[in-house]
Amino acid sequence: MLGLDGEPIRGLEEQQRHDKFMAEEAERRRNDTPDTPPPGGILVAMLISLAGAMVFFSFWNVADVFTFLTSTFLRYVPLPQLAAAALAVAIGYVLFQVREITKSGWYPPAELFVGVVAASYGVTHQGEALAGIIAFVAGTRIIVDSFARAKKFADERKS
């Protein structure tokens, strides 16, 4: 049976639950102002990030950076692969928390920058071929995630 407004007539308890949910949802939306730039700003930031990554890769020998980091920080560790894996997991966890807490619109361009650098390093890598392929695939995956995250943040901003 329909009411005067065309909506189905509900029981009193169901209507109260619905009203309470709608009020809580409205309050949540009022208080949930994401720190995201407008969609055009995200595109501009991604393009600037891409240009920055290309400039960084052009003028800085990334292989020297990786060599420096591994020779300096992993020199005294008996199992360098284990230490590198643990460090990667720790950094990944911290970045995940930063992303989830801040939900910043600037995270996708930064992610794009990292992906471009990793993919570029994989293509120009002079060492083991498999390592270069893995770096390229990982960089491409990071780039895909950055576009997906930019879309997700833009959709959240619209709602």
Q: Say yes or no to pLDDT of 144 above 80.
A: yes
Q: How far apart are CA 2 and CA 17, in angstroms?
A: 19
pLDDT at 49: 76
Q: Is the pLDDT of residue 140 over 80?
A: yes
The chain-wide mean pLDDT, for the chain, equals 75
Q: Are residues 67 and 9 in the same domain?
A: no
Judge contact between 121 and 87, C-beta under 8 A.
Answer: no
Host domain of residue 17: 1-32
Please give the pLDDT value at position 9: 61
The model's pTM: 0.48
User: What's the confidence (pLDDT) of residue 21?
Assistant: 82
Of the pLDDT bands very low, low, confident and very high (cuts 50, 70, 90), residue 141 is very high
Average of per-residue pLDDT across 148-156: 83
Q: Using CA atoms, how far apart are residues 58 and 125, in angstroms rounded to an integer?
A: 14
% of the chain with per-residue pLDDT over 90: 3
Both 119 and 141 in one domain: the answer is yes
Domain count for the chain: 2
For the cut 80, the answer to whether the pLDDT of residue 87 exceeds it is: yes
Same domain, 58 and 136: yes
Q: State whether 111 and 46 are in the same domain.
A: yes
66 and 23, same domain (yes or no):
no
Residues 65 and 17 grouped into a single domain: no
73 and 21 both lie in a single domain: no
- At 95-104, the pLDDT tens digits run 888 887 877 7
Do 3 and 43 sit in the same domain of this protein?
Answer: no
Question: Do 104 and 71 fall within a single domain?
Answer: yes
Structural contact between residues 112 and 50, judged by C-beta atoms closer than 8 angstroms: yes
Task: Give CA–CA dist 32/91, Å, rounded.
Answer: 27
pLDDT of 116 strictly over 60: yes
Same domain for 1 and 77: no
pLDDT band at 37 (very low <50, low <70, confident <90, very high): low
- Which band of pLDDT confidence, cut at 50, 70 and 90, is reported for residue 153? confident
- On whether both 25 and 48 belong to a single domain, the answer is no
59/19 same-domain check: no
